[in-house]
Structure 1
Amino acid sequence: MRRTTWLTASTIAIALLAGCGNSSNGTATPQTTTPTEPAPRTTTSTPKTTPTRPREIKLDGKNPCELITPQQRARFGFEREPHTGTSKTYKSPECTFNTNAASYTITTVTAEGVEAWRTGGRSAQVDEQQPIQGFPTLATTLPDHPVYKDSNCGIVVDVADGQYLLSTIQIIRSKASELPPKCEAARQFAEAAMATLTTTA
């Protein structure tokens, strides 16, 4: 099933896709520190059907940096230590990993549920995706944004009531050919984090 939602305001580009929590970068270049993000806004239509979770996995107390194992870090090409922080937008822990081609961020969002994307007012296009590990999944993009339309994608995984896992990628546009399409790359990162989460929860 696929659902697309168009929203107002292009400022969310940063909040969503650059690392979520001061996570809005002014450029499409990965950063080792987390930038400032505007408050998210959303307007969406109600989906015809919503996948159900196979179980609930609470994110309270989870360290997002630990959701990417050393083996997974090597597979993605992360050679530097990740940067930890707190997302001001989502009021939740986040961890950012950098390569020479992109910046990847995992945010363990505990201050709101996935319904914020389904029925709220975020400035993004929201598309239903195939579930990850059986958990309902959305992709968020900014197709009309002059900078972020080609370089940013967020993957939202509904893991518990009032909580979700957020995987975002910001690609250096000159390096885009070195990576899969932006949402595929963000999904691969989300799949890695979910593989760890489901085996350790």
Structure 2
Amino acid sequence: MLIVRWVGAAVLAVLAVLASACSPESPAPSAPPTSTEVRPDGVVELPPRPREVRLDGVNPCSLLTEGQRARLGLDGRPVLSQAPVGLYPGGDVVACDIRGFEPRAVAAGISLVTTVGVERFTSGDLAAEIRRTAIHGFPAVVAVPTRLTNYCTVIVDVAVGQLVDVQFRDGGRTPPIPQGQLCRDAEAVAADVMMTLLDR
């Protein structure tokens, strides 16, 4: 299905970078980004979450209303999937992919991860620039890939061992959407997703 190919491509890119960083034939990984929130060892420190919001049994395609999707420019049909994702070991990841065609070609992927916590993105071992943010008071990170520029990811810490993964991707038209804009769009999607979760 569409979501498997889209999310899979992004995850494979991250995993390929991780694998190459461990290969003796590749150059040493680049230094972690300079930030007051990043320790010298590359670990990103996050504040505590205000409370736990469990994701068990939640359908990710229910987390954006029709009005929210319209405002975000996501006019395609939401596509639900459930499959293993290498970045998140321990079980299947339930995900929803929603494309947009007008006025821009974009795609948003919402993954609800119940087997791995936000530490997967704060440990300093990913080839991405990590910066802290907050989504409706919940600690989160923006993960900006350093070797790809056509998507951006926001990870929200919602519970012990659980996270919300929102990816926002360029749909491939010319000119390409700047990565900074993709990150802002990913944060906007994450904000609407968390609003829905908190209102449940």
Q: TM-score, normalised by structure 2?
A: 0.73
**Alpha-carbon distance, 1:45 to partner:** 2.0
Residue aligning to 1:14: none
SS of 2:12 mapped into structure 1: coil
Counterpart-to-counterpart distance in 2, 1:50 and 1:177? 29
**Alpha-carbon distance, 1:23 to partner:** 1.2
Please state which structure has a larger fraction of its residues in helix. Answer: 2
Q: How is 1:1-201 mapped onto 2 (pairs within 5 angstroms)? A: 23-25=7-9, 37=12, 40=15, 41=18, 45-47=42-44, 49-89=45-85, 90=88, 91-100=92-101, 101-119=105-123, 121-129=125-133, 131-143=134-146, 145=147, 148-149=148-149, 151-173=150-172, 174=174, 176=176, 181-200=181-200
Runs of 5+ in structure 1 lacking a partner?
1-17, 26-34
Residues 20 and 107 in structure 1, CA contact (< 8 A), matched pair in contact too? no
Residues 141 and 154 in structure 1, CA contact (< 8 A), matched pair in contact too? yes
Q: What letter is aligned with 1:54?
A: P
SS of 1:37 mapped into structure 2: helix
Q: What letter is aligned with 1:165?
A: V
Q: What letter is aligned with 1:86?
A: Q
The structure with the larger Rg is 2
Higher alpha-carbon deviation: 170-179 or 57-66: 170-179
Residues 64 and 94 in structure 1, CA contact (< 8 A), matched pair in contact too? yes
SS of 1:184 mapped into structure 2: helix
Counterpart-to-counterpart distance in 2, 1:122 and 1:20? 21
Q: Whose RCO is larger (CA < 8 A, sep 6+)?
A: 1
Identity of aligned residues (%): 28
Counterpart-to-counterpart distance in 2, 1:92 and 1:115? 17
SS of 1:116 mapped into structure 2: helix
Per-residue displacement from partner, 1:84-129 (whole Å, max 9, x unpaired)? 1124223310000001211101000111000111116323222112
**Alpha-carbon distance, 1:19 to partner:** 6.0
SS of 2:54 mapped into structure 1: coil
The alpha-carbon distance between structure 1 residues 22 and 81, as it changes in their structure 2 partners (threshold 3 A), is closer
**Alpha-carbon distance, 1:56 to partner:** 0.3
The alpha-carbon distance between structure 1 residues 178 and 140, as it changes in their structure 2 partners (threshold 3 A), is closer
Higher alpha-carbon deviation: 190-199 or 84-93: 84-93
